Structure formats: C-alpha cells, structure tokens
Amino acid sequence: MAESAFAERSDGSEEKVSGAEVIAQALKTQDVEYVFGIVGIPVTEIAVAAQKLGIRYVGMRNEQAACYAASAVGYLTGRPGVCLVVSGPGLIHALGGMANANVNCWPLIVIGGSSERRQETMGAFQEFPQVEACRLYCKFSARPSSIETIPSIIEKAVRSSIYGRPGPCYVDIPADFVNFQVNVNSIKYMECCLPPPVSMAETSAVYMAASVLRNAKRPLLIIGKGAAYSRAEEAIRKLVGQCKLPFLPTPMGKGVVPDNHPNCVSAARSRALQFADVIVLFGARLNWILHFGLPPRYQPDVKFIQVDICAEELGNNVKPAVSLLGDINAVTKQLLEQFDKTPWQYPAESSWWQTLREKMESNEAASKELASQKSLPMNYYTVFYQVQEQLPRDCFVVSEGANTMDIGRTVIQNYLPRHRLDAGTFGTMGVGLGFAIAAAIVARDRNPGKRVICVEGDSAFGFSGMEVETICRYNLPIVLLVVNNNGIYQGFDADTWKEMLKFGDATEVAPPVCLLPNSHYEQVMTAFGGKGYFVETPEELQKSLRESLADTTKPSLINIMIEPQATRKAQDFHWLTRSNM
C-alpha cells in the first residue's frame, strides 16, 4: 500500500482527513495529473484539495467541454484525465463527453458529486440516478460505500479505463462525503496501478497473416487511432519501409507514419479501398468511417487482416481472413519478425502502385487547381493550402466541422502521431476547443513551445465558443481558425440574406442550415484579451497567421470568410454512405 500524504498532529493526537482530501490523494497516488471541470456544490473542495497536491485543475465553462478535454488527455498521455462535475445537470452535461470517449476508446475518469445519502428518494437538490445513468456510457460506474473505500474505487476506475479497450469510468461522490472527517489512519491508499499488460497474437495467426500479405496483388495497410494510442509508430514505420507497402491513415491515425511519406495513398483513398485485395487493419474498425468493409466500397472478395486489442471487435461486419488479437505495437513487431526471417518487399513497379500514383496525381492536381483560384471570397482549398504552408511540422492540429474537417484532413498534413484530434468515431461537434485546451496544457508540461492549431467551422465553433475565455484565462497560445461560410454545410452572403428576409421572418424563410452572415467571431477572442483577425483575402490570411504563430504570449482567433456555397471537389464516393443533403 502507498503511504498517505497526511501525518499525525504534533501533539500526538490522530490527524483527521476529509473526503475531498482522500479523493485528491487517491488520484495523486494513481498518477492522475489533470482535472478539468466546473466547480460548485458539492465538489469545490475536491478541486482545491487536488491543487494542493500538485494536480493541475483547469476550470472550464461547460461540462461537455471539460469532459472532452479530460478524454483528450487520456488519448495524448495514456493516463486518464479527470472530469469533475456537480450533481444532476452537471453530470448530465458531461454525458456527451463520456459517450464520445466511450466510442473513441479513450481513457477517462468522471467524478460527479451527488446528493446526500440521507436525502435519497426525498427530492434532494439535483437528485438523479447518476451511477445507473452512467453505466450506459462507461466501462465501470460505482459509488464508494464509505470514505475508506474511495481509494480502492478510484484505483479500479483508473485501471479499468486503461486496461483492455480503453474507455471512460465514473465515480459517484455523495455530498456528505466531501467534508466529512475521518481518522487518517483508517485510509489505506492503493498502489498505483501498473501500465496495461501487453498481449500478443498467436504465433500461428501471425505466420498466416504474413503469408496472406506476401501473396497479395494489391495490398493496403490502414492505420487507425488505435495504432496511435498504442505507440506503434516505430514498428509500423519500419513495416511500411521494409515491405514497401501502401498505407492509408484514418483521420486520427494521421502521423503514425508521416503524411508526406511516399507510401501514403491518402490522395487516392477511394481507389485504394475499392480495389485492394488484402487489407491490414492496425487499430482501425470497420465502421462508418471505413464504410463497414462492404461493397461497393470494397471488392467482394477482399481479405481483411484485423489487428485489434478487443476480441469483440474481430469479425464485425466482415469475416476476417486472419484475426490478430493483441496490442497493436506488439503484434506489429511480431509481423516484422516474420519478414525479418524471410525478407519480402512489395514491388514498386507493380500495376497497383501505378494505379494509385496516377489517381493521387490526378486528385492532388484538382485540389491545387481549386486552391489557385483567385476569385473572392476564398474557397476551402485556398484557405487550407495557405495554412499548410505556415504550420510548424510538430504542431497539434485540432479540427471539427463538416467540410472544414473533411477537406482540411486532405490538405493539412501531420508528421507525428497523436497530433491530430477531430470529431472522431462518434462524429461529435463541439469537441474542438476542449481538445485544443487539453493539447495545449499537455504540450506546456511536456513540450514547451509546441503550438496548437484549432481549425473550426463556424457552426462547430458555436458549440463551445465560450471556452475562448478559458483559453485566455490560462493564457494558452492556441491559434483558432474559424472557417466561416455563414452556415452549416453552406450559407448565404449578406445580400442574399437581406433579400430573403423581405419574404418573411427568418424562422419561416431561412433554410435550417443558415447562420447569420459575416459574424465577427474574432471579437469573442478580443473581448477576453486575445488577438482577433477578420480576414477575407489570402494575403490577409497569410499575414494574420504569421503574426499569430510568431506570438507565443497570447491566443489568437482568425475569422476567415469563404464563399458561402463553397464545397469540396467531386468525390468518387460521398464520405458518408448517404449524402447529408
């Protein structure tokens, strides 16, 4: 057992400790570094106690954003962040972040205050069945039966969040526990849980997978965020380079192998998926992002080799040719051993490579043609090519929105793993500023000077825009880019908006996708002391971004006006199975 941080009094009498202090010490003992939340009755004392022990507390403006931030810390560090919320509505607001972490498979601890035990069923202040409600979103949801059991419950929550498939866990704290005092010697703190045990695939399955890959005529590796989370970048980069295989990253798998690697076929995504005959999935699931692994996006007889930490994931939607159950990094090393024993390379002169390269060149040329257009307002491609030219290679890129996120993913490159955060598997809007805050806090501690660039659609920004105050309060040098097309997917220019309103009230005539034209979101940033820019031309964008990146003392928001009807280039397939419009 780990020793308590609390000692006996100097007069020999027994020291007392509050429930809040026990919670804080239990978190500290489990190597929890960051707490995000909104304090109030009954959890304020928990945040104060955590700060006294050196745990970072970041006060947010909405529990959803706090939960998004805490979950991003789990993904970036491998150790769960904590979201601290008040009872009832406070917890309910956090459920969105818990659901997002659950679907993304990110470790997270939510600690929620709840009504006093003696007032249960009496209609207590903000009374709500919190433990039961959270079970739908969690791997583990529990209320300690006493203050003495808090350390063991927190240890189990932390351990459950990182063992197996990572995910969120919930710990419920009755209000009367927070300030209640118990003898310090009655508290036994659990030793810090060890990192997850590393599991490896069966040797025979690894041999079979290597054999299937050697016989492929049109192979493809798909690198998911599970590979990023497992720190598999070194092994996967070696596999790609040694076997000369084409690879395709999922949105948050970007950077495990750098996007500018010659074997990256992101620019021919649809072609690669549609015609590959053997596909290796490294921590990527055959869900909507990968079109379920089914025709017409894939060949009917395509062979999948699934590598996943979760046994229940193997065989979802398609029957894999080979299943490799285990840690992505460990299993990739097992595959490398097979290719070290019997070296093999996929031929660079194959017709498959020729097909992919031709499509890549065609798509890249189309994107550059759109980016080179001189007409105003700008389009997405003009904006993102201008941004890409100036971004530091080691920056974190946070992105959310519809076209903003999807088009930005194809242009803005990542060179390092776990350096892209976006709407993720759950397609959650509103994550951007919480993710950016988490990345900036982690970067400040681990990589001082590393920048965070948050690229938002104007609609996406609206979900969590007040977190700009949080960014300014903690003086996080985040650069926010709001790509503003006056709407959700598309909007109208100011003149069209005024003409439309001549025919009736906006509730009657304005399409549901429209937002107010030319909104000055940059003034939200200047209102709290940061720098704001309103830009309409490539030259203004270049200048404002250059100034924002040069200033490491203040956050910035660049409000970028684009053509309201701008969209992406023609697609072989829509990103979703069905078009949104």
Domain match, 423 and 282 both: no
Whether residue 197 lies inside any domain: the answer is no
The whole-number pLDDT of residue 2 equals 45
Regarding whether 73 and 176 lie in a shared domain, the answer is yes
Q: Which of 289, 324, 355 is the last residue of a domain?
A: 355
User: What is the side-by-side order of every strand in the sheet holding 247-249?
Assistant: 247-249, 219-223, 278-282, 303-308, 322-325
In a shared domain, residues 212 and 268: yes
- Does a structural domain hold residue 195? no
Domain extent, residue 276, equals 203-355
Residue matched to tokens 């960014």: 471
- Sequential DSSP letters for 115-141: --GGGTTTT-TT---HHHHHTTT-SEE
Report residues of the chain scoring pLDDT below 50: 1-6, 579-581
CATH of the domain at 411: 3.40.50.970
How many Cβ atoms from other residues are within 10 Å of residue 557's Cβ? 29
Question: Contact at 8 Å (CB) between 99 and 68?
Answer: no
pLDDT at 424: 95
Please tell me whether residues 56 and 116 are part of one structural domain: yes
Indicate if 21 and 167 belong to the same structural domain: yes
* 8 A C-beta contact, residue 74 and residue 434: no
pLDDT, residue 580, reads 42
Q: Which residues 6+ apart lie within 8 Å of 220 measured at CB? A: 245, 246, 247, 248, 265, 272, 273, 276, 278, 279, 280
Q: How many domains does the chain have?
A: 3
Residue 310 lies in a domain: yes
Q: Is residue 448 part of a domain?
A: yes
State the DSSP code for 109.
Answer: E
Residues 262 and 123 placed together within one structural domain of the fold = no
Please name every residue paired with 479 in a beta bridge, in sequence order, or none if there are none: 453, 556
Please tell me whether residues 349 and 223 are part of one structural domain: yes
- The token pair at 510 is 């304005």
**Contact (Cβ atoms closer than 8 angstroms) between residue 224 and residue 281:** yes
Q: In this structure, are 36 and 155 located in the same domain?
A: yes
Residue 360 lies in a domain: no
Residue 21 DSSP one-character state: H
The per-residue pLDDT for 570 is 65
Q: Are residues 182 and 237 in the same domain?
A: no
Residues 431-484: tens digit of each pLDDT: 999 999 999 999 999 999 999 999 999 999 999 999 999 999 999 999 999 999
Q: What is the model's pLDDT at position 3? A: 44
- Residue 575 resides in a domain: no
Global pTM reads: 0.95
Residue 334 in domain: yes
Is 59 in the same domain as 173?
yes
Quote the pLDDT of residue 11.
56
Residues 119 and 92 in one domain: yes
Is residue 2 in some structural domain? no
Same domain, 555 and 413: yes
Selection from 226, 211, 240, 236 nearest residue 78 by Cα: 226
